Structure 1
């Protein structure tokens, strides 16, 4: 690495998550789940503004000019980044009452994959929201469906379930949007850390934010750890590549659930961080809605 992790923005978020790089604007969108905010950060100026969603907001995806697809507590919606207007699209009926939306990302075909998190073990799931407005259950018996992504060649899908401390790999069929043959790629169950958000670089390496680990880690496509980078905060939450060459790594973090002593030890908890790397990330995929879904 060309430099150490830098504190980029004193955000003091409760639960910063889901950073998304907008290459057209050269800006970063990210969320603060419990403060109900979608942030828009400009690295060139250091300016950060936010939209109040009025509800928990856990994941976002680019969805055309001046528009984001957002995952609220139990529904999907469009957010207009010019006016702040929110238009609901789909109400998700979760099987357990203590369940909400969690991390999400778009695939190469413009479909939005969104997981859930449940207080009841095994009651969360992974969903696929298609451009035609239909929702499909893709995986069940999860607890904290988290960081997800695809290999550069599009043949493998990755999914994190934070509760058992595992990252899974699946065979992926891009044309149909189907996954199969689940296997454990990364098992961190012997450590007191939980893999959280995920990013993939163009070499196929998996970058994972390690909740309660004071670090982020990089695993090669075979699941072997090749790098671990220390963070000045206990709970990094997610990460994405950005910048003009997609070599800048942006990292969100959380302060939620920390004691006063822990916050003092990790004074910058909830802030936004930056790392210049020797790796190049994958371009951000957008949600491609059908004409009738708008």
Structure 2
């Protein structure tokens, strides 16, 4: 019998995404892309604070204190959550107004990797970028459909990446010193019958946890064998991402969406767009900070 995630914030986000855990404040940051909001959930206080981003935020990562770095509709931004301030850093796709940033994560060296997607969902129009701690940036992968989940092996030698329309997880050889990636190869392939792979995280055992958009679940995979090890049921169909947090990183937080659902569909999943959580029985890995 599959474990089931429980609702913790009934936010009804249009497109909940990009969860990241701040171990110093013991809070979870997450975004509502289409709602143009950034959230901060405190498990201890059971509160969910919200600020208006003024544009679509694809993902945010912790920098220091209440300062974040965001991959937004119009590029990278420095954000102070408490002060509600947004300062532009760089816009790698200023020449592509039909694109926006989507998912992003910090690598073991403190670099912020974030990718884009086209509003039209046109394949091959997006890319994956890397923002260095000195705020310089470079394009790492192009001809992407929808740039999504990212994760790194604990020893820092492998980077995992999801291009959602391709229905697969790719692995790259990863150079922690330079941020270089090479030798791309598929390690997990999806049929599409149980949703499409979206956001992703990795646990202490090196297993990948993947959100199934329109699949009602999060699944755990062995990237060495391509085997699905476990599934967590989520009472919302459009599951978008997941991350470990809480005490000892034993809670898996899961974001969901409610955009494009009919009234009839919403009646069957009234908490779609909520933030969910589950204790999967394994320990996760820490959400890294930009720049350290």
TM tier relative to shorter chain:
over 0.9
- Which of 223, 237, 240 lines up with 1:237 in the alignment? 240
Q: Quick check: 2:159–2:171 contact (8 Å CA) kept in 1?
A: yes
- Which of 276, 281, 284 lines up with 2:279 in the alignment? 276
Q: Quick check: 2:2–2:232 contact (8 Å CA) kept in 1?
A: no
CA distance in 2, matches of 1:140, 1:89: 21
SS in 2 for 1:163: helix
* Equivalent runs, 1:140-219 vs 2, <5 Å: 140-219=142-221
Report deviation, 1:55: 0.4
Question: 2:34 corresponds to which residue?
Answer: 34
CA distance in 2, matches of 1:215, 1:234: 7
SS in 2 for 1:245: helix
Report deviation, 1:191: 2.1
CA distance in 1, matches of 2:111, 2:189: 28
- Structure 1: runs of 5 or more not aligned: 290-294
Report deviation, 1:284: 1.4
Question: 1:85 corresponds to which residue?
Answer: 85
Question: 1:124 corresponds to which residue?
Answer: 126
Q: Quick check: 1:117–1:145 contact (8 Å CA) kept in 2?
A: yes
CA RMSD, aligned part only?
1.5
Question: 1:135 corresponds to which residue?
Answer: 137
CA distance in 2, matches of 1:42, 1:17: 17
Count of matched residue positions in the alignment of Structure 1 and Structure 2: 289
Deviations 1:97-127 (A, max 9, x none): 4211010010111100000012321111100
Q: Quick check: 1:2–1:276 contact (8 Å CA) kept in 2?
A: no
- Structure 2: runs of 5 or more not aligned: none
Report deviation, 1:92: 2.0
SS in 2 for 1:63: strand
Are 1:227 and 2:240 counterparts? no
CA distance in 2, matches of 1:246, 1:160: 23
CA distance in 2, matches of 1:124, 1:174: 24
